């Protein structure tokens, strides 16, 4: 079998741009993958065209060889865009390899160690605690979800006195947990804090309520600072969405900087690199909760990775556009999307599809033929003195 073509598609998932990749073979098997959207997302298309020249004619089932070749051909370590492109190519190679054998991808990863994969849903606004309760109850009714992630900030930490930020968080979370005793909440501080002592104090406030985890309160660059942070906390500390390879995660683990690591399968180079990161974490008794704010194809890729992962914690999940519930856990949509049959939760879990090869989903190529690019960029907060803060 040989690689004969690479086709990339610019599309969207709600308000976010997405870049999907199809790799074609001379045996008529096509594999699919998804890039991370760091921005500038349109730059991924010519980059993928360039990388195709390095893999055309290769046997797509020699995944390790091809991914190593891409890394070696780059000479210097690839950056965010390069690894996003590598990730999608890696996904597609695993998809082809599994389809060639007529099995799900997780069978190639050693087989499933679990029958289903637990997921949590993000609640991205800052509503009243009773509104959160009603939202969670609705998601539990539809999908059986009992785990959710929220921002810990009730007022802007860039403009309000820090004491007020902590008090507002403590008061709000206390009411929330009293109103929602049957749900688990994680809190994503989104690397907005520059000073480690603030990350410590916020974590101490949240720790009183025993959250599922406390995610990325400060910037990821100084790994030693994460070791010092974790040493002062009792709340489970999670991070890793901004790290890119096994060596960065190894340094984090050696510094004892996380209880849970969160690599992104669309950002680190795909399943091939994710498996190495997970193996390192396992040696340090650290679980993996993959970062997954992406589209329904990325969720399918993550599902197979998590199904075969021994040190799995929980998977981040984003409901597909127009999602509707089917009692068998199969996808449906009230409006067209590029994945015809996305994985939808049932009883709070994503069920495996053992009778469907590859990722177990169908891609609507006709939908992808229309360029649906939407511009998206991060909006920086502005402090009272006019300087900008982290998002």
Half-sphere exposure of 358 (CA within 13 A, CB side): 21
Return phi, psi of residue 7, to 5°: -120, 130
90 and 200: one domain? no
CATH of the domain at 69: 3.30.390.10
Indicate the residue among 104, 134, 150 that finishes a domain. Answer: 104
**How confident is the model at residue 379, as a pLDDT?**
86
Sign of CA dihedral 82, 276, 264, 348: positive
Q: How large is the greatest C-alpha to C-alpha distance in the chain, in angstroms? A: 64
97 and 176: one domain? no
Helix 63-74 with 80-101: angle, nearest 10 deg: 160
Q: Which residue has the tokens 């091809």?
A: 66
Distance CA 191, CA 157 (A): 12
Helix (H) or strand (E) holding 195: none
Residue 366 lies in a domain: no
Asked if 341 contacts 331 with a C-beta cutoff of 8 angstroms, the reply is yes
285 and 148: one domain? yes
The answer for 318, left when phi > 0, alpha when psi is -120 to 50, beta otherwise, is: beta
DSSP states along 51-116: HHHHHTTS-TT-HHHHHHHHHHHHSS---HHHHHHHHHHHHHHHHHHHHHHTSBHHHHTT--SSSE
CA distances from 185 to 174, 180, 232, 315 (A): 12, 9, 21, 13
Residue 65 lies in a domain: yes
- The domain total for the chain is 2
**How confident is the model at residue 378, as a pLDDT?**
82
Structure tokens at 304: 């197979």
252 and 350: one domain? yes
Indicate the residue among 104, 126, 147 that finishes a domain. Answer: 104
90 and 129: one domain? no
161 and 91: one domain? no
Q: Which residue has the tokens 């996380």?
A: 258
Report pTM: 0.94
pLDDT by residue, tens only, the chain of 391 residues: 999 999 999 998 888 899 999 999 999 999 999 999 988 899 999 999 999 999 999 999 999 999 999 999 988 889 999 999 999 999 999 999 999 999 999 999 999 999 999 999 998 776 789 999 999 999 999 999 999 999 999 999 999 999 999 999 999 999 999 999 999 999 999 999 999 999 999 999 999 999 999 999 999 999 999 999 999 999 999 999 999 999 999 999 999 999 999 999 999 999 999 999 999 999 999 999 999 999 999 999 999 999 999 999 999 999 887 664 433 333 444 344 899 999 999 999 999 999 999 999 999 999 999 888 888 888 889 999 999 998 8
**How confident is the model at residue 169, as a pLDDT?**
96
86 and 148: one domain? no
Residue 211 lies in a domain: yes
184 and 60: one domain? no
Structure tokens at 221: 């660059």
- Say if residue 32 is exposed, middle or buried (CB neighbours under 10 Å; 0-12, 13-18, 19+): buried
187 and 282: one domain? yes
Residue 218 lies in a domain: yes
Q: Which domain holds residue 80?
A: 3-104
Residue 45 lies in a domain: yes
55 and 122: one domain? no
**How confident is the model at residue 373, as a pLDDT?**
87
- The DSSP symbol for 296 reads H
Cis peptide before 99 (omega within 30 of 0): no
Distance CA 285, CA 9 (A): 39
**How confident is the model at residue 127, as a pLDDT?**
77
100 and 112: one domain? no
Distance CA 7, CA 11 (A): 13
**How confident is the model at residue 336, as a pLDDT?**
47
Distance of CA 382 to the CA centre of its chain: 27
CATH of the domain at 349: 3.20.20.120
**Residues with catalytic roles:** 190, 291
**How confident is the model at residue 326, as a pLDDT?**
39
Helix, strand, coil in percent for the chain, rounding step 5: 35, 20, 45
- Please give the angle made by the CA atoms of 373, 374 and 377, to the nearest 5 degrees: 130
Residue 375 lies in a domain: no
82 and 111: one domain? no
Residue 283 lies in a domain: yes
Residue 389 lies in a domain: no
């Amino acid at each position: 079998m040989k690689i004969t073509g690479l086709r990339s598609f610019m599309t969207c998932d709600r308000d976010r741009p997405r870049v999907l990749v199809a790799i074609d073979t001379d045996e008529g098997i096509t594999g699919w993958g998804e890039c991370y959207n760091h921005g500038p997302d349109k730059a991924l298309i010519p980059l993928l065209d360039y990388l195709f020249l390095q893999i055309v004619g290769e046997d797509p089932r020699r995944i390790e060889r091809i991914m190593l070749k891409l890394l070696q051909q780059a000479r210097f370590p690839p950056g965010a865009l390069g690894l996003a492109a590598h990730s999608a190519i890696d996904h597609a190679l695993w998809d082809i390899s599994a389809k060639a054998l007529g099995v799900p991808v997780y069978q190639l990863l050693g087989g499933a160690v679990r029958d289903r994969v637990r997921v949590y849903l993000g609640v991205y606004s800052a509503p009243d605690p009773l509104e959160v309760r009603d939202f969670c109850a609705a998601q539990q009714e539809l999908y059986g979800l009992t785990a959710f992630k929220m921002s810990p900030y009730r007022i802007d930490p860039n403009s309000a006195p820090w004491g007020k930020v902590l008090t507002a968080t403590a008061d709000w979370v206390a009411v929330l947990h009293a109103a929602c005793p049957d749900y688990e909440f994680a809190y994503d501080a989104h690397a907005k804090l520059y000073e480690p002592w603030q990350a410590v104090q916020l974590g101490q406030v949240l720790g009183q309520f025993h959250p599922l985890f406390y995610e990325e309160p400060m910037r990821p660059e100084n790994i030693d600072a994460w070791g010092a942070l974790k040493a002062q906390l009792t709340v489970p500390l999670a991070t890793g969405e901004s790290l890119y390879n096994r060596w960065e995660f190894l340094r984090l683990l050696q510094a004892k900087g996380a209880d849970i690591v969160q690599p992104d399968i669309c950002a680190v180079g795909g399943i091939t690199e994710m498996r190495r990161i997970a193996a390192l974490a396992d040696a340090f008794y650290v679980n993996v909760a993959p970062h997954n704010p992406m589209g329904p194809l990325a969720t399918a890729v993550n599902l197979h990775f998590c199904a075969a992962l021994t040190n799995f914690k929980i998977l981040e999940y984003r409901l597909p556009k127009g999602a509707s519930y089917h009692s068998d856990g199969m996808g449906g949509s009230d409006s067209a999307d590029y994945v015809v049959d996305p994985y939808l939760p049932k009883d709070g879990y994503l069920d495996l599809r053992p009778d469907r090869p590859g990722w177990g989903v169908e891609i609507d190529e006709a939908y992808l033929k229309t360029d649906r690019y939407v511009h998206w960029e991060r909006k920086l907060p502005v402090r009272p003195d006019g300087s900008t803060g982290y998002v």
